[in-house]
């Protein structure tokens, strides 16, 4: 830029001040409208749900304060198992999915079998319900090897098999969404294929796929609750046990709340991250 | 064919900008720019990169909100937050440096999209007019192709007729030849010239000094967010008053 402009301290014109007053009034009006519609919505919910004849019974069996408090320690203990599986799965899914995606982007006839294998894998394992994979892995693998394997490991393996297939497709789409001219530019600079991928393509691909990856991550956070079907006493199974003991469904609500609390920070983080990227790469306003 | 669809009383400007201010963060890009444009006038805005040319154009058709100032189009205050910005933008035609054609649409659909969707002209009629425009730029046989298959010059000419297709009152051209190969520049400028001859009102930010001298009625020199001087091409290129202008022009004629 030629001739750097020195910031001028100046008073906005009367016209601009008028416009600001108008915009402020508009935004105040939007807030009021939002408020009014929220109140109206709350009234409708109250009238249609809380006012129904069965609500008292539902409240007693699903929202019982005493049972709620009593079941927290057990459900929380189970929830820690979910967290373990989730923590391991994030790493294994990440590695496995990236490897699958890279296999599918390899060019050249030599790599045909690898490409075909990766493509076939994603086709098959995206098609099979996670719960079936859990049964197959959870009961099949220990029988096959005839050893005891910790349920956390089996759960992680099953989730990796299924989510690896999903996430690899997201990564592949992200890689392919980076404009080919970027590869040309990197290769022209003398970067190898691997370095081009690592230093130029992947960082850009990662930005494009962040929202989709976060979406899969949130889905995975909830699906770790399915490991209860292979016998793990996780949050869901613990809640089930507590429910049977108390003759009351409130423990399920406790488990649900824990999963929601786990998901919210991730969702907010993803929103914040994508907003930040957009701000950094774009000057001027978004229309 | 391209006479403005709305006419303004003689003597008044079609587009008037008064004291426009615009900052990005703490970087002031426009510092009190005032500019009038009469109907059928062709005005070239010149200046170094970063002098605010593009921002000025984008503020005029409300792609960028201004921090202060006023913009009148045909006497109507379009900087008033009460006006519908989409309706205002439809009265402008805009062409960008990097063409910005829609890659998922055919050449003909690119040209007719706004006519059909914004101006609600029936497809058949919009396409008849679109083909006329494509004929004018010699791309009738590319009508069903996608823009990626065209050369840069062909893409930019398509972008120009896309902007023209809705009969805008003012055409804004933002350095439309800067991304083109030198041998493709002429075909794009010839097209602009033909629309200028037709009486189109044009405001263009450009680095093509020869073209500005040849086609523009008036040349405006923008420096660090201010209009430093303006006048006829003969005046600006022949005997610039300001040392900054001389310095800038010297770099182009060196």
Domain ranges of chain A: 63-275
pLDDT at A6: 54
- What per-residue confidence (pLDDT) applies to B5? 42
Q: Which of B27, B28, B65 sits opposite A285 (nearest CB)?
A: B65
Question: What is the CATH architecture of A63-275?
Answer: Orthogonal Bundle (1.10)
Question: What is the pLDDT, as a whole number, of residue B254?
Answer: 58
Poorest-pLDDT segment among A258-262, A272-276, B225-229: A272-276
Pair of tokens at residue A271: 């929103």
Structure-token pair, residue A163: 């989510």
Does the pLDDT value for residue B116 go beyond 90? yes
The answer to whether the CB atoms of A16 and B68 lie below 8 A apart is: yes
> pLDDT at position A134, please?
94
Cβ atoms within 10 Å of A232's Cβ, excluding its own: 25
Pick the closest to residue A18 from B219, B143, B68, B216 (CA basis). Answer: B68
- Does B151 map to a domain? no
- What pLDDT is attached to residue A104? 87
Question: What pLDDT does B11 receive?
Answer: 54
Full domain range(s) for residue B224: 15-102+172-253
Report the distance separating Cα B6 and Cα B167, nearest Å.
10
Q: Is A250 helix (H, G, I), strand (E, B) or coil?
A: helix
In sequence order, what are the residues at sequence separation of 6 or more whose Cβ sits closer than 8 angstroms to the Cβ of residue B25? none
What average pLDDT does this structure show over A106-125? 90
Tell me if B155 is assigned to some domain: no
For residues B226 and B242, the answer to whether their CB atoms sit within 8 Å is: no
**Residue B9: inside a domain:** no
Among B residues 205-234, those touching chain A with beta carbons less than 8 Å apart: 223-225
Q: According to the model, what pLDDT value does residue A19 have?
A: 93
Nearest to A129 by CA among A223, A215, A212: A223
Token pair in block for residue A78: 């189970």
Mean per-residue pLDDT over chain B, rounded: 91
Interatomic CA distance for residues A191 and B31, integer angstroms: 44
Q: How far apart are the first and last CA of chain B?
A: 40
Using the predicted structure, report yes or no on whether residue A49 has a pLDDT greater than 60: yes
User: CA angle at residue B109 from B103 to B111, to 5 degrees?
Assistant: 95
Taking a C-beta distance cutoff of 8 angstroms, is the pair B163, B93 a contact? yes
Write out the E strands in chain A: none
In chain A, whose CA is at the least distance from the CA of B68?
A16
**Closest approach of chain A CAs to the CA of B48, in angstroms?**
7
B144 inside domain? no
pLDDT confidence of residue A286: 60
Query: In the numeric block, which tokens belong to residue A206?
Result: 């990662």
Query: In whole angstroms, what is the distance from residue B171 CA to residue B61 CA?
Result: 10
| A1 → chain B, closest CA residue | B50
Instruction: Report the distance separating Cα B78 and Cα B76, nearest Å.
Output: 6
Whether B223 has a pLDDT exceeding 90, the answer reads yes
Q: Is B29 close to A5, i.e. CB distance below 8 A? A: yes
Answer for the pair B69, A13: CB distance below 8 angstroms, yes or no. Answer: yes
At A153 the pLDDT is 94
DSSP 8-state secondary structure symbol assigned to residue A7? P
Task: Outline where B25-78 has alpha helix (H).
Answer: 53-60
Q: What is the pLDDT of residue A90?
A: 95
DSSP strand pairing (B68-73 vs B15-24): antiparallel
Residue B121: its pLDDT value, please? 94
- Rounded to whole angstroms, the Cα distance separating B19 from A230 reads 72
For residue B8, name the pLDDT band (cuts at 50, 70, 90): very low
Task: Flag if B224 and A12 touch (Cβ within 8 Å).
Answer: no
CA dist., res. A169 & res. A172, Å (int):
5
| pLDDT at B114 (0 to 100) | 93
- With a cut of 60, say whether residue B154 has pLDDT above it: yes
Q: Is the pLDDT of residue A7 over 60?
A: no
Give the pLDDT confidence score for residue A282 in this predicted structure: 64
pLDDT at A3 over 50: no
Give the rounded distance of the alpha carbon of B154 from its chain centre.
18
Q: What angle do CA A262, A267, A273 make, to 5 degrees?
A: 130
Tens digit of pLDDT for each residue in A61-83? 888 888 899 999 999 999 999 99
Q: Is residue B126 part of a domain?
A: no
**How close does chain B come to A277, measured CA to CA in Å?**
17
Q: Does the residue B108 lie in any domain?
A: no
What would the pLDDT profile of B46-83 be if each residue is shown by its tens digit? Answer: 999 889 999 999 999 999 999 999 999 999 999 999 99
CA A224 to chain centre: 12
Residue A212 near residue A166, CB atoms below 8 Å: no
**B231 φ, ψ to 5°?**
175, -170
Which pLDDT band holds residue A10 (cuts at 50, 70, 90)? Answer: confident
Structure token pair of residue A224: 């770790």
| Chain A residues whose beta carbon lies within 8 Å of the beta carbon of residue B225 | 5
A284 vs B181 pLDDT, higher one? B181
Residues of A in contact with B68 (CB under 8 A): 12-13, 15-16
Which of A22, A283, A284 faces B81 most closely, judged by CB atoms?
A22
Give the long-range contacts of residues A126-132, CB within 8 A, separation 24 or more.
A126/A162, A126/A165, A126/A166, A126/A169, A128/A162, A130/A158, A130/A159, A130/A162, A130/A223, A130/A226, A131/A226, A131/A229
- The interface predicted TM-score of the complex, written ipTM, equals 0.76
The reply to whether residue A15 touches residue B70, judged by beta carbons under 8 angstroms, is yes
* Residue where the block lists tokens 């992947």: A202
DSSP three-state, residue A8: coil
Residues B163, B95 contacting (CB under 8 angstroms):
yes
CB contact under 8 A, B28 and A23: no
The two three-digit tokens of residue B19, written as one number: 């004291």
Flag whether pLDDT at A243 surpasses 70. yes
Task: Tell me how crowded residue B147 is: count the other CB atoms within 10 A of its CB.
Answer: 22
The reported pLDDT for the residue numbered A107 is 78
Q: Which of the two residues, A46 and B139, has the higher pLDDT score?
A: B139
Q: Do B158 and B139 contact (CB within 8 A), yes or no?
A: yes
Domain count, chain B: 1
What is the pLDDT at residue A227?
92
Residue B150 and residue B110 in contact, taking contact as beta carbons nearer than 8 Å: no
pLDDT of residue B80: 93
Which comes out higher in pLDDT, residue A104 or B17? Answer: B17
Q: State the pLDDT at residue A284.
A: 60
Encoding tokens for residue B71? 């913009």
Residues 6+ apart with CB under 8 A from A69: none
| A81 and A152 Cβ atoms separated by less than 8 Å | yes
| Mean pLDDT lowest among A13-27, A271-285, B99-113 | A271-285
CA distance B26 to B51: 15
Domain containing residue B91: CATH number: 3.40.50.300
* Residue B90 placed within a domain: yes
Interface of A with B in 19-48 (CB under 8 A): 19, 22-23, 26
pLDDT exceeds cutoff 80 at B2 = no
């Amino acid at each position: 830029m030629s001739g750097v402009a020195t910031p001028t301290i100046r008073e906005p014109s009367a016209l601009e001040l008028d416009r600001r007053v108008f915009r402020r009034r508009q935004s105040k009006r939007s807030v009021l409208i939002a408020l009014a519609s929220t109140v109206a919505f709350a009234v409708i919910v109250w009238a249609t749900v809380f006012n129904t004849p069965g609500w008292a019974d539902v409240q007693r069996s699903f929202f019982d304060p005493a049972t709620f408090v009593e079941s927290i320690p057990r459900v929380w203990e189970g929830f820690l198992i979910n967290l373990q599986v989730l923590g391991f799965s994030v790493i294994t899914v990440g590695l496995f999915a990236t490897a699958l995606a890279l296999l599918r982007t390899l060019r050249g006839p030599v790599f045909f079998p690898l490409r075909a294998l990766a493509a076939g894998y994603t086709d098959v394992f995206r098609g099979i319900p996670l719960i079936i994979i859990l049964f197959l892995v959870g009961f099949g693998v220990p029988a096959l090897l005839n050893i005891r394997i910790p349920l956390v490991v089996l759960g992680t393996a099953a989730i990796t098999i299924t989510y690896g297939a999903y996430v690899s497709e997201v990564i592949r789409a992200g890689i392919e969404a980076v404009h080919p001219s970027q590869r040309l530019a990197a290769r022209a600079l003398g970067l190898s294929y691997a370095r081009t991928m690592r230093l130029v393509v992947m960082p850009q691909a990662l930005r494009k796929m962040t929202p989709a990856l976060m979406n899969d991550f949130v889905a995975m956070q909830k699906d770790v609750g399915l490991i209860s079907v292979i016998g793990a006493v996780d949050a869901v199974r613990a809640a089930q046990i507590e429910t049977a003991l108390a003759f009351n469904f409130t423990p399920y609500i406790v488990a649900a709340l824990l999963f929601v609390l786990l998901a919210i920070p991730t969702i907010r983080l993803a929103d914040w991250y994508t907003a930040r990227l957009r701000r950094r790469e774009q000057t001027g306003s978004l229309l | 064919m391209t006479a403005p669809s709305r006419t303004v009383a003689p003597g008044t400007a079609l587009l008037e900008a008064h004291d426009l201010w615009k900052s990005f963060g703490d970087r002031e890009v426009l510092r009190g720019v005032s500019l009038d444009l009469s109907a059928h006038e062709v005005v070239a805005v010149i200046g170094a990169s970063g002098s605010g040319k593009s921002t000025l154009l984008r503020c005029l058709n409300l792609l960028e909100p201004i921090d202060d100032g006023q913009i009148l189009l045909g006497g109507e205050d379009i900087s008033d937050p009460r006006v519908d910005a989409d309706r205002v933008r439809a009265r402008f035609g805009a062409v960008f440096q990097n063409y910005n054609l829609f890659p998922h649409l055919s050449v003909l659909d690119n040209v007719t999209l706004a006519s059909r969707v914004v101006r609600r002209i029936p497809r058949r009629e919009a396409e008849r007019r679109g083909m006329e425009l494509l004929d004018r730029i010699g791309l009738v046989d590319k009508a069903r192709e996608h823009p990626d298959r065209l050369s840069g010059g062909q893409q930019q000419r398509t972008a120009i007729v896309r902007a023209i297709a809705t009969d805008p009152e003012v055409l804004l051209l933002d350095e439309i030849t800067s991304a083109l190969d030198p041998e493709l520049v002429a075909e794009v400028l010839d097209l602009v010239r033909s629309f200028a001859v037709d009486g189109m009102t044009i405001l263009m930010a450009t680095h093509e000094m020869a073209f500005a001298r040849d086609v523009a009625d008036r040349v405006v020199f923008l420096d660090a967010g201010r209009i430093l001087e303006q006048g006829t091409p003969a005046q600006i290129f022949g005997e610039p008053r300001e040392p900054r202008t001389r310095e800038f022009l010297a770099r182009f004629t060196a």
